[in-house]
Amino acid sequence: MLELSGRGQDWRMGFAGDTFNTLWAMRALLPENAVTDYVSAFGDDPFSQEQRAFMNGKGIGIANSPVIAGARPGLYAITLDGAERSFTYWRNDAAARLLASDPESLKMSLSGRSLVYFSGITLAILEPADRQSLLGTLVEARKGGALITFDPNYRPRLWASAEDARAAIKQALSLTDIALPTYPDEQMLFGDASPDEAVKRLMGHGVEEIVVKDGSEPAHTAWKGETRPIPAVTVATPIDTTGAGDSFNGAYLAARLLGLPPFEAAEKAHRVAAAVVQVKGALAPFDILRDAFAG
């Protein structure tokens, strides 16, 4: 999506979005020869062309994602109250809503991957038939050896009803290897009384590796039957919390791909998230992400 951030007359445009923010952190932290693609659908307008050029300049491809004549990106604006942010969206006709409209292209894009990451927002923006097409393709990717990773990232305004959201998210969890939810979202949608209760519910769906994020509180990390609260890194004066959870996800997944165990990966992810809240916008510079990850 196009991202507008700032205030008054001082606005700047960038490119961001929950899944892209996660991939951005992964691209920064993985070796240069790691293949990283953002699978979506794109328009052919000047903003879409600039979007793809921006990604390409950072080593991020688009695999076999369709480029659709006449389509355009979604748009959102960030407004801040101190360091806390709120968003205004314009995405009803965003090209990304068509990411699963070409099943063969989607299958080619996800084939042979070591890891595939998607979110509840990915599910929410799709028409029901396309949502099922995506989930079916993820099943095939998993059979081909991909780790399927999922952040439910519940946004009520994107769903027709909470019941629809719960049904789709439960279906996604049934094929998920690594779940990276945020506790307030889980509490809102499923009524979990604590992060530990959220962990237990997710285990009930067969997910074997879970990190329940909770802002500045510990991340409850479960693996091989053991759950540990991994303390967050305290930031005395955060500037902008946009993208912190997404960057946590990206750092966690990069650490796992690099062979680190989940509990150590969560520690590194907290350090990266703490660095991200000290810069404006969703995408922190690569050198900041790398320094935080190295610790």
Q: For the domain that residue 275 is a member of, what is the CATH number?
A: 3.40.1190.20
Residue with tokens 């109250």: 81
Question: What pTM did the predictor assign?
Answer: 0.94
pLDDT in tens, 219-228: 999 999 899 9
- Whether the per-residue pLDDT at 84 is higher than 70: the answer is no
* pLDDT at 242 (0 to 100): 84
Q: What would the mean pLDDT of 33-43 be, rounded to a whole number?
A: 97
CA angle in degrees (0–180, nearest 5) for 75-161-203: 95
Q: What would the mean pLDDT of 149-153 be, rounded to a whole number?
A: 98
Phi and psi angles of residue 8, each rounded to the nearest 5 degrees, phi first: 60, -130
Tokens for 31?
């070796």
| Residue 142 domain-assigned (yes or no) | yes
The domain total for the chain is 1
| Residue 2 domain-assigned (yes or no) | no
| Residue 6 domain-assigned (yes or no) | no
Q: What would the mean pLDDT of 9-29 be, rounded to a whole number?
A: 91
The answer to whether 160 and 184 are in contact (CB under 8 A) is no
Q: One of 185, 192, 240, 246 is an active-site residue; which one?
A: 246
* pLDDT at 123 (0 to 100): 98
- Whether the per-residue pLDDT at 194 is higher than 70: the answer is yes
pLDDT in tens, 225-244: 899 999 999 999 998 888 99
| Residue 27 domain-assigned (yes or no) | yes
| Residue 3 domain-assigned (yes or no) | no
pLDDT band at 85 (very low <50, low <70, confident <90, very high): low
- Helix boundaries (H) for the chain: 18-29, 46-57, 103-110, 120-124, 128-143, 162-173, 183-190, 195-204, 244-257, 262-276, 286-294
- Whether the per-residue pLDDT at 134 is higher than 80: the answer is yes
Q: What is the DSSP string of 116-146?
A: EEEEHHHHHTS-HHHHHHHHHHHHHHHHTTP
Give helix 183-190 / helix 162-173 axis angle, nearest 10°. 120
Residue 214 annotated among the catalytic residues of the structure: no
pLDDT in tens, 58-81: 999 999 999 999 999 998 887 767
More confident residue, 5 or 193: 193
* pLDDT at 151 (0 to 100): 98
pLDDT in tens, 163-172: 999 999 999 9
| Residue 8 domain-assigned (yes or no) | no
Residue with tokens 């049934």: 174
pLDDT band at 8 (very low <50, low <70, confident <90, very high): low
| Residue 79 domain-assigned (yes or no) | no
| Residue 178 domain-assigned (yes or no) | yes
Domain of residue 178, residue span: 20-46+57-70+98-294
